[in-house]
């Protein structure tokens, strides 16, 4: 059991510390949902980090960087009482939402999450249990958007803080990381060519 934590910490401007986690291979755990509703967004993986897709002005899309869906839920785990934000795949979120289609709020529902197989990208199977926990006993419902805005900041600028400044910063960031990637591949190609001449 266990989770792989990303270095995504929030503990300022009144927000409690809540790590964002990805379930590890063979994860099997039960927790109580603390958010009222899930936060769902398309993201890009660039520069070895996740950044949100900015509809209409997304430089990553314009540069043809692939995007993917991610869903987020906040959960207090039953085995250790840790309060964390869990990253969910599209398939896992569809299964989860199909079990709660008539519910106004997610808060207080018990969620069982299992990651199948021995790989860290194995399928996540969610199931909502009939038991509900009294919501007054739970931590305050976190603002998932606010937490992720801080996590996704570029050069100190948050997604929600100054949208135009963030768009400009993310544009520079995308250009810089794509250039670094091209340089890396050019260097690797040169090394392979040099090795080929040395052995030939």
pLDDT in tens, 14-40: 667 788 999 999 999 999 999 999 999
Mean pLDDT over residues 73-82, rounded? Answer: 93
Residue 37 has which token pair? 């509703």
Percent of the chain with pLDDT over 70: 87
Encoded tokens for 109: 């529902």
Asked whether the beta carbons of 21 and 6 are under 8 A apart, the reply is yes
Residue 42, pLDDT > 70, answer: yes
Task: Look at residue 75 and tell me whether its pLDDT is greater than 90.
Answer: yes
Contact indicator for 50, 142 with CB cutoff of 8 Å: no
Query: Token pair for residue 22?
Result: 């990805």
> Using CA atoms, how far apart are residues 195 and 137, in angstroms rounded to an integer?
64
Residue for token pair 């964390």: 84
Q: Which runs of E-coded beta strand occur in 47-170?
A: 49-52, 67-77, 83-88, 109-115, 124-132
* pTM for this entry: 0.80
Residue 115 pLDDT class (50, 70, 90 cuts)? very high
């Amino acid at each position: 059991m266990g989770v792989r934590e990303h270095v995504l910490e929030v503990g300022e401007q009144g927000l409690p510390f809540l790590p964002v986690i990805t379930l590890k291979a063979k994860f099997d755990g039960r927790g109580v949902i603390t958010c009222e509703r899930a936060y769902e967004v398309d993201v890009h993986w660039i520069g070895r980090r996740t950044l949100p897709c900015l509809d209409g002005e997304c430089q990553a899309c314009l540069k043809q960087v692939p995007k993917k869906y991610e869903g987020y839920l906040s959960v207090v785990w039953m085995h250790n009482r840790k309060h964390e934000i869990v990253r969910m795949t599209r398939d896992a979120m569809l299964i989860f939402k199909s079990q709660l289609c008539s519910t106004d709020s997610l808060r207080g529902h018990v969620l069982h999450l299992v990651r199948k197989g021995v790989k860290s990208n194995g399928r996540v199977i969610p199931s909502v249990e009939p038991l509900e926990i009294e919501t007054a006993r739970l931590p305050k419902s976190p603002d998932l958007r606010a937490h992720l805005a801080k996590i996704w900041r570029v050069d100190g600028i948050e997604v929600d803080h100054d949208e135009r400044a963030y768009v400009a910063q993310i544009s520079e960031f995308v250009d810089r990381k794509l250039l670094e990637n091209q340089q890396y591949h050019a260097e690797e190609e040169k090394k392979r060519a040099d090795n080929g001449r040395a052995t030939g």
